[in-house]
Amino acid sequence: MAAPVVRFAPSPTGRLHIGNARPALLNWLYAKAHGGTFILRFDDTDLARSTKEFADAIADDLGWLGIRPDVTVKQSDRFALYDAASDRLRAEGRLYPCYETEDELDRRRKRQAARGLPPIYDRAALKLTDDDKAAFEAEGRKPHWRFLLDHRSVEWNDLVRGASHIDCASLSDPVLIRADGTYLYTLPSVVDDVELGVTDVIRGEDHVTNTAVQIQLFELLGAGAGAVPRFGHHNLLTTASGEGLSKRLGHLSLASLREQGLEPMAVNCLAVLVGSAEAVRPVLSLDALAEIVRLDRLSRAPAKFDEHELTALNARLLHETPYEAVAEKLHALGVGDGEAFWLAVRGNVEKLSQAAEWWTVVSGPVDPVIEDSPFIAKAAVSLPPEPWDQTTWAVWTDAVKAETGAKGRALFMPLRLALTGLAHGPELKALLPLIGRERAVKRLSGTLG
């Protein structure tokens, strides 16, 4: 397969949420797996609602996930291309003016429903004479413009769903240009895909019906069937309860997930592995994820996104993450002692920020919990001399056991409470060398240290 060209096309009218991450990542991983090109296209033809602030935020969110576009374009810079395409369609008789109001169209659909007919536009506007159009114009009506579909079955081999087809006779001729002259999504999207050389359109299954319309436009504007890209329509993410995702679920925005301290690779893994034949599991890099994710292994059922599963996956990811991957972040948290510390505590963190809490346990100050002073005093006397390593804990506890006769929980828990002030945590054989003998002596004496 030739190197693919894909695109992700958000509207900069709000922040990205986890549902948007799925198509962005599926396109990025597909391009990465096949040595292709990823285009970020801002669909900002809605000039009233689109803002530079949202566009910048979207680029920042994608960068957090690890997605760095090869090409970035804005539709607001490309209106001349859309105007030329619409002029061409008018000249070829495939774009025709319609003057019905929304109320008139609604009444017509209701009459059709009452007669048991599908609510398909009846192409009444094609019968308008020049005088009819002039009369509407004299009333102050401005036309919206519909694309005249060929009433034929459009077929394609979907990258996700396999052999697919839509009978265009079952569709209304779609409106491409509103009465105020602004473009709907369909025409600019096709024009851009043709002009930018997009070879694969990977998007949500809610666009399946649009595909038949767009294929006909590709054939007209791209000079034949050979210009039609491959299409893949993936299942959509929903909430765990089956609710559709939207921008109003602010806590599931990528910005919010980032603020919650979640790792981008945990978000990446859940966003693309859920709802597929692959088990949801931690994968440490986008390169490795690209080798796993395949469009033909996505399910046809909705993919349910569970926030609790994300937290658990985040923990599993950190438990496997090597020090080199988190070194800079740990430094930013004020954590020291490098790899030895991280390997000691990573199994006890759900979020990276919790490493700072364990750093306090290591470096102090810690308020020790002394439940049995005579026992702890004997343990302090048995502390081995430095240097300490991961064998020191066993040497020390064997000595304390011989001195006191304590064993099991009665031996280990009082020492943990005195050394860390906590009843849980990483293995003390790893923590003890990090705490060091000086701090250990202070804590065993009941002193803040």
Residue 183 bridge partners (DSSP): 177
Q: What are phi and psi of 223, to 5 degrees?
A: 70, 55
Does residue 407 belong to any structural domain of this protein? yes
Give residue 418's domain range: 373-444
Q: For residue 432, what is the domain's CATH number?
A: 1.10.10.350
Hey, what are 353's tokens?
Answer: 């920020």
Closest alpha carbon to 289 in 3, 28, 29, 7: 29
Examine residue 365 and say whether the peptide bond preceding it is cis (omega within 30 degrees of 0): yes
Q: What is the pLDDT of residues 316-355, one digit of tens each?
A: 999 999 999 999 999 999 998 789 999 999 999 999 999 9
On the question of pLDDT at 215 being above 80, the answer is yes
* pLDDT grade for 449, boundaries at 50, 70 and 90: low
Q: What is the pLDDT of residues 363-373, one digit of tens each?
A: 989 999 999 99
Does residue 420 belong to any structural domain of this protein? yes
Calpha distance 310→267 (Å, rounded) = 7
The average pLDDT across 245-266 equals 84
In the predicted model, what is the mean pLDDT of the chain?
A: 94
Of 196-205, 247-256, 327-336, the range with the lowest mean pLDDT is 247-256
Does residue 2 belong to any structural domain of this protein? no
On the question of pLDDT at 243 being above 90, the answer is no
Whole-model pTM?
Answer: 0.92
Distinct helix (H) and strand (E) counts, the chain: 18, 12
How many domains does the chain contain in total?
Answer: 3
Give the residue from 249, 282, 317 where a domain finishes.
317
The average pLDDT across 428-447 equals 95
Give the residue from 280, 301, 317 where a domain finishes.
317
Judge if 310 and 344 occupy the same domain. no
Judge if 243 and 307 occupy the same domain. yes
The DSSP 8-state label assigned to residue 267 in this structure reads H
Judge if 396 and 343 occupy the same domain. no
* Percent above pLDDT 90 for the chain: 90
Judge if 289 and 349 occupy the same domain. no
Query: What would the DSSP string read from start to end of 404-436?
Result: H---THHHHHHHHHHHHSSS--S-HHHHHHHHH
Does residue 195 belong to any structural domain of this protein? no
Judge if 309 and 337 occupy the same domain. no
Give the residue from 317, 340, 355 where a domain finishes.
317
**What pLDDT does residue 302 have?**
86
Single-letter amino acid code for the residue at 53? E
